[in-house]
Amino acid sequence: MNEEDSEKISGLLKGIGYERTKIKEESDIIIFNTCCVRENAEQKVYGHLGALKALKRKKPNLIIVVTGCMMQQDGMPDKVMKKFPHIDIIAGSYNSYKLPEYIERVKTEGNSIIEVWNKEKGIVEGLPVDRMSDVKAFVTIMYGCNNFCSYCIVPYVRGRERSREPENIINEIKDLVSKGYKEITLLGQNVNSYGKGLEPEINFAGLLRRVNKIEGLERIRFMTSHPKDVSDELISAMAECEKVCEHGHFALQSGSSRILEKMNRKYTREQYLELVKKLRMAMPNIAITTDIIIGFPGETEEDFEETLSIVKEVEFDSAFTFIYSQREGTPAAKHEEQVPENIKHERFNRLVEAVNEILAKKNKEYEGKIVEVLVEGPSKNDETKLMGRTRTSKLVNFQGSPDIVGKLVKAKITKAQSFSLIGEII
Ligand code: SAH
Ligand code: SF4
Which numbered ligand comes closest to the C-alpha of 329?
1
Distance 367 CA to ligand 2 centre (A): 36
**Same fold across 2-115 and 136-364:** no
Element holding 416 (H helix, E strand)? strand 408-416
Ligand 1 pocket (Cβ < 6 Å) reads: 37-38, 145, 151-152, 154, 189-190, 224, 226, 251, 253, 291, 293, 322, 324-325, 327
- Kindly report the protein residue whose alpha carbon is nearest to atom 4 of ligand 2: 189
Measured between alpha carbons, how far is 208 from 185 in angstroms, rounded to an integer?
A: 11
Ligand 2 pocket (Cβ < 6 Å) reads: 145, 147-149, 152, 154-155, 189-190, 226
Which numbered ligand comes closest to the C-alpha of 265?
2
Distance 152 CA to ligand 1 centre (A): 6
Task: Kindly report each contact of residues 103-112 with a partner whose C-beta sits within 8 Å and lies 24 or more positions away, as own/partner.
Answer: 103/13, 103/16, 103/29, 103/63, 103/65, 104/16, 106/63, 107/63, 112/81, 112/85, 112/87, 112/88
Q: Which of 36, 226, 290 has most ligand 2 atoms within 8 Å of CB, for mutation?
A: 226
Which residues of the chain are modeled with pLDDT < 70? none
- The DSSP letter of residue 340 is P
Which numbered ligand comes closest to the C-alpha of 331?
1
pTM over 0.85: yes
Q: 289-309 burial, b for 16+ CB within 10 Å, e for fewer?
A: bbebbbbbbbbeeebbebbbe
Measured between alpha carbons, how far is 363 from 349 in angstroms, rounded to an integer?
A: 21
Q: 66-100 burial, b for 16+ CB within 10 Å, e for fewer?
A: bbbbbbbbeebbeebbeebebbbbbbbbbbbbbbe
Which numbered ligand comes closest to the C-alpha of 187?
1
pLDDT tens per residue across span 345-387: 999 999 999 999 999 999 999 999 999 999 999 999 888 999 9
Q: For residue 125, give the amino acid letter.
A: E
For 64, other C-beta atoms within 10 Å of its C-beta total: 23
For 363, other C-beta atoms within 10 Å of its C-beta total: 21
Distance 373 CA to ligand 1 centre (A): 29
- Kindly report the protein residue whose alpha carbon is nearest to atom 2 of ligand 2: 149
**Nearest CA to 285 among 238, 250, 331, 332?**
238
Q: Which of 2, 143, 152, 186 has most ligand 1 atoms within 8 Å of CB, for mutation?
A: 152
Inter-helix orientation angle 301-314/341-364, to 10°: 10
Contacts of 409 (CB under 8 A, 6+ apart): 372, 373, 375, 388, 400, 425
Q: What DSSP string runs through 5-17? A: HHHHHHHHHHHTT
Alpha carbon 206 to chain centroid, angstroms: 23
CB 236 within 8 A of CB 259: no
Measured between alpha carbons, how far is 201 from 186 in angstroms, rounded to an integer?
A: 19
- Kindly report the protein residue whose alpha carbon is nearest to atom 1 of ligand 2: 152
Decide yes or no: CATH 3.40.50.720 for domain 2-115. no
Top CATH class, 136-364: alpha beta
pLDDT of residue 276: 98
- Kindly report the protein residue whose alpha carbon is nearest to atom 11 of ligand 1: 37
152 is in an annotated binding site: yes
370-425 folds as OB fold (Dihydrolipoamide Acetyltransferase, E2P) (2.40.50)
**Nearest CA to 125 among 113, 148, 141?**
141
Measured between alpha carbons, how far is 56 from 65 in angstroms, rounded to an integer?
A: 12
Distance 251 CA to ligand 1 centre (A): 8
Q: Which of 4, 5, 35, 37 has most ligand 1 atoms within 8 Å of CB, for mutation?
A: 37
Distance 154 CA to ligand 2 centre (A): 6
Each domain of the chain, given as residue ranges in start order, spans: 2-115, 136-364, 370-425
Measured between alpha carbons, how far is 276 from 230 in angstroms, rounded to an integer?
A: 10
pLDDT tens per residue across span 14-42: 999 999 999 999 999 999 999 999 999 99
pLDDT of residue 119: 87
